[in-house]
Amino acid sequence: MIKVLSEIDQKEIIKGFKARFIHTATNTIGYVEIEKGAVLPEHSHHHEQITQITKGTLKMVVNNETCILNAGSIIIIPPNAKHSAIALKACKVIDVFSPVREDYK
Amino acid sequence: MIKVLSEIDQKEIIKGFKARFIHTATNTIGYVEIEKGAVLPEHSHHHEQITQITKGTLKMVVNNETCILNAGSIIIIPPNAKHSAIALKACKVIDVFSPVREDYK
- Give the per-residue pLDDT at A1: 85
How far off is chain A from B30, nearest CA to CA, in Å? 12
For B17, residues 6+ apart whose C-beta sits below 8 A from its C-beta are B32, B33, B34, B35, B38, B40
Q: What's the CA gap between B74 and B61, in Å, rounded?
A: 14
Burial B87-104 (b: 16+ CB within 10 A, else e): beeebebbbbbbebbeee
Q: What does the mean pLDDT of chain B come to?
A: 96
Task: Flag whether A17 is in a domain.
Answer: yes
Contact state of A72 with B27 under an 8 Å Cβ cutoff? no
Torsion sign (Cα): A1, B12, B23, A51: negative
Count, in order, helices (H) and strands (E) of chain B. Answer: 0, 11
Task: Flag whether B18 is in a domain.
Answer: yes
Q: Across the interface, which of A24, A74, A96 has its CB nearest the CB of B3?
A: A74
Q: What does the mean pLDDT of chain A come to?
A: 96
Q: What's the CA gap between A86 and A89, in Å, rounded?
A: 9
Task: Flag whether B23 is in a domain.
Answer: yes
Q: How many domains does chain A have?
A: 1
Q: What's the CA gap between A70 and A89, in Å, rounded?
A: 9
The pLDDT tens digits for B45-89 are 999 999 999 999 999 999 999 999 999 999 999 999 999 999 999
CATH of the domain at B30: 2.60.120.10
Task: Flag whether B2 is in a domain.
Answer: no
Q: Is the pLDDT of residue A32 over 90?
A: yes
B59's enclosing H/E stretch is strand B57-62
Torsion sign (Cα): B86, B90, B91, B92: positive
Strands A83-87 and B65-70, by their bridges, are unpaired
Cis before A99 (ω within 30): yes
Task: Flag whether A4 is in a domain.
Answer: no
Task: Flag whether A71 is in a domain.
Answer: yes
Task: Flag whether B32 is in a domain.
Answer: yes
- Give the per-residue pLDDT at A94: 97
- pLDDT tier at A9, thresholds 50, 70, 90: very high
Q: What's the CA gap between B12 and B33, in Å, rounded?
A: 9
Q: Is the pLDDT of residue A77 over 90?
A: yes
Q: Which residues in A lie closer than 8 A to residue B29 (C-beta atoms)?
A: 50, 52, 74, 96
Cα–chain center distance at A96: 8
Q: What ipTM was estimated for this complex?
A: 0.91
pTM: 0.94
- Give the mean pLDDT of A44-60: 97
Task: Flag whether B73 is in a domain.
Answer: yes
Domain that includes residue A88, residue range: 9-104
- pLDDT tier at B1, thresholds 50, 70, 90: confident
Contact state of B29 with A48 under an 8 Å Cβ cutoff? no
